[in-house]
Amino acid sequence: MKKLTSDELRQLYLDFFKAKGHTVIPSASVIPENDPTVLFTTAGMHPLVPYLMGAKHPEGNMLTDVQKCVRTGDIDEVGDNSHCTFFEMLGNWSLGAYFKEEAIAYSWEFLTDEKYLGIDKDKLYFTVFAGDEDAPRDMDAFNAWVKAGVDPSHIFFLPKKNNWWGPAGITGPCGTDSEMFYDTGKPACSDHCDPSCDCGKYLEIWNDVFMSYNKVADGVYEPLAQKNVDTGMGLERTVATINGLESVYDTDVFVPILAKISELSGKEYKESAETIKAFRIIADHIRCATFILGDPRGVTPSNVDQGYILRRLIRRAIRYAMQIGIPENSLSQVAQAVIDKYGHFYTELVDNKEKILTELANEELRFQRTLKNGIKEFEHIKGSFTDGIIDGKSAFRLYDTFGFPIEFTQEMAKENGLAVDVDGFNKAFEEHQKKSQLGAEQRFKGGLADQTEETAQLHTATHLLQAALRKVLDESVSQKGSNITAERLRFDFSYPRKVTKEELEEVEKLVNEAIEADVPVTCEEMTVDEAKAQGAIGLFENKYGSRVKVYTMGEYSKEICGGPHANRTGELGKFKIKKEEASSSGVRRIKAVLIKE
Ligand code: SER
């Protein structure tokens, strides 16, 4: 088996498919174009969807590339041997040119031929689709592997769960697939251990998808006019496998990045379980952040969409950098190591170097302020635990809102003679994860168009505006009307005179404080009487029925409403009042916008 570096594998793959008549195309942006349903490009096929559906690709019908991909669904798993938020996917495509037999023959040759990966045939295992009501058992793929030279005992038939790929969203191109696995030689974990088992005996290195179906809105799989092939090989994972390395973090990709972290922290990568985890998280997150910042369509940290994910990655890296003693404001040096490693191939990182380093440094400065607020919050709450135990919810709030790892909270608690309810924290954490996963799925499935999201955010801002007006002007202020477009909110309320410039500034300030506090927007169903008893404001009219939804935003607002709303106030951006004027007698009108960084 060849021992290749990441650069060598990338080049070998592209050269192999070029020699087979494919055109090498550049990686598309990591931020998808014209696709509001996903935040990042998660697979090589993403940018090619129109061509898989039948549009003509300007470079022909046989393509190959290495695609920058970001998958942040498993961000909390990063730190183990295999999870990364950024990775490179090697792929080759047939847009109606060749199909299963040729695709499988190419895969087999690349995997086993001495000129390429030269993997021992006995070490390779394969899976193919077992068949169901949507598509027949994939005997064509099975036969193609056998024809290529695979022993049938190395081929497993598995159901849709394992051997069907796509569509990437709710509809679109998809089909049966055939996956390729390397047997590490570890003993089987049970009599049922097969390549679908995740015990670590079999490592997946490549996936050939035979995209000949289009899943339509009612869930039916219609045959596509064109039979396509979409393959994907994870670069880092394959380099680890062929070099016999335990983890992707041991590959040449990460060596210089981990070395820089070691230099900055004065610690060794494998000093302890704690350093291994922290080094991996910093290396992974800063690598991903560097690619997002450096992308031609790159974004900057913010409280929305891709910018929000970027912010989470950087802040999580900062927490772990603090934990292992990396001095403040030095993560841009880790980003520099990433640029040095990749700049020759991904030249956009060199072109956008200033932006990458400056934005990272700015975000570090900003987060230090949040951290300080978190410390203040801790000082504020620590006296309120009469039993000496910080409850799970409070610990989770410190984690979620101020970015305190549980270990950090435990340490501070100990210094103050307190303990932490870690089980309660874990429970709150799991509940949150369930909710955010659900949120992510809904977003992906529903394809939340920008307008809907903007509207939800403006709607949320209206609640904060009403609460602020009642504080600054008078408790008797009440809503008289609301109108929201994608661009602005318009809010009519009872008040007898013009609102002064100073009062408007104060209102803006209060709303922005609530946004900066980044509190969750929670919803509860209750009776109108219960809502009144809790001090909720809103229109208590019959049209709401006997049970109502009450939306709460921390201490800032509690209001009866039907939704939809943002998940957290922090998503709103900056609130700015554009105009205050009379609407009708005794009713004033405010127009306001949310400005995104
Ligand atoms: N689309 C498939 C995957 O992501 C193959 O490229 O695995």
| CATH number, domain containing residue 244 | 3.30.930.10
Indicate if 20 and 161 belong to the same structural domain: yes
The answer to whether 41 touches 47, Cβ cutoff 8 Å, is: yes
Tokens of 47: 């940018």
Confidence of residue 36 (pLDDT cuts 50, 70, 90): low
Indicate if 233 and 328 belong to the same structural domain: no
Average pLDDT over residues 305-334: 90
Indicate if 219 and 102 belong to the same structural domain: yes
- Give me ligand 1 centre to Cα 169, in Å: 13
Indicate if 225 and 296 belong to the same structural domain: no
pLDDT tens by residue, 358-391: 999 999 987 877 777 888 889 988 888 888 999 9
pLDDT tens by residue, 447-490: 223 356 788 899 899 999 999 999 999 988 988 777 777 788 98
| Residue 208 beta carbon below 6 angstroms from any ligand 1 atom | no
The answer to whether 11 touches 235, Cβ cutoff 8 Å, is: no
pLDDT tens by residue, 88-111: 999 999 999 999 999 999 999 999
CA distances, 372 to each of 20, 193, 357, 368, 404 (Å): 58, 50, 23, 6, 11
Confidence of residue 80 (pLDDT cuts 50, 70, 90): confident
d(CA 455, CA 488): 8
Indicate if 62 and 206 belong to the same structural domain: yes
| Residue 43 beta carbon below 6 angstroms from any ligand 1 atom | yes
pLDDT tens by residue, 412-424: 798 799 999 999 9
31 in a structural domain: yes
User: What is the helix (H) or strand (E) element at residue 450, kind and residue range?
Assistant: helix 450-472
Measured between alpha carbons, how far apart are the two ends of the chain, in Å? 50
Tokens of 438: 């659900």
| Residue 439 predicted with pLDDT over 70 | no
In 10 A of CB 250, how many CB atoms? 18
pLDDT tens by residue, 203-231: 999 999 999 999 988 889 999 999 999 99
What one-character-per-residue DSSP string does 399-424 give? Answer: HHHH---HHHHHHHHHHTT-EE-HHH
Indicate if 220 and 311 belong to the same structural domain: no
Strands (E), 112-262: 124-129, 155-158, 164-165, 172-183, 202-215, 221-234
- Give me ligand 1 centre to Cα 161, in Å: 14
| Closest ligand 1 atom, residue 44 Cα | 6
d(CA 12, CA 6): 10
Confidence of residue 531 (pLDDT cuts 50, 70, 90): confident
Residue closest via CA to ligand 1's atom 4 equals 43
Indicate if 245 and 316 belong to the same structural domain: no
Minimum mean pLDDT range among 115-119, 386-390, 573-577: 386-390
Domain closes at, from 335, 356, 384: 384
Residue closest via CA to ligand 1's atom 3 equals 232
Q: Judging by beta carbons within 10 Å of its beta carbon (0-12, 13-18, 19+), is residue 54 exposed, middle or buried? A: middle
- Give me ligand 1 centre to Cα 351, in Å: 29
Indicate if 356 and 471 belong to the same structural domain: no
| Residue 552 beta carbon below 6 angstroms from any ligand 1 atom | no
pLDDT at position 438 = 52
577 in a structural domain: yes
Instruction: Tell me the CATH number at 465.
Output: 3.30.980.10
Domain closes at, from 356, 384, 412: 384
Confidence of residue 442 (pLDDT cuts 50, 70, 90): very low
Residues above pLDDT 90, as percent of the chain:
65
pLDDT at position 451 = 59
392 in a structural domain: no
Mean pLDDT taken over the chain: 89
Q: How many domains does the chain have?
A: 3
Closest to 51 measured CA to CA, from 100, 105, 96? 96
| Residue 182 beta carbon below 6 angstroms from any ligand 1 atom | no
Range of the domain at 309: 288-384
| Residue 173 beta carbon below 6 angstroms from any ligand 1 atom | no
User: What is the helix (H) or strand (E) element at residue 577, kind and residue range?
Assistant: strand 574-584
Phi, psi of 210 (to 5 degrees): -105, 90
- Sheet containing 547-553: give its strands across: 521-527, 547-553, 557-560
Indicate if 370 and 485 belong to the same structural domain: no
Pocket test for ligand 1, best of 207, 212, 233 (most atoms within 8 A of CB): 207
Indicate if 499 and 553 belong to the same structural domain: yes
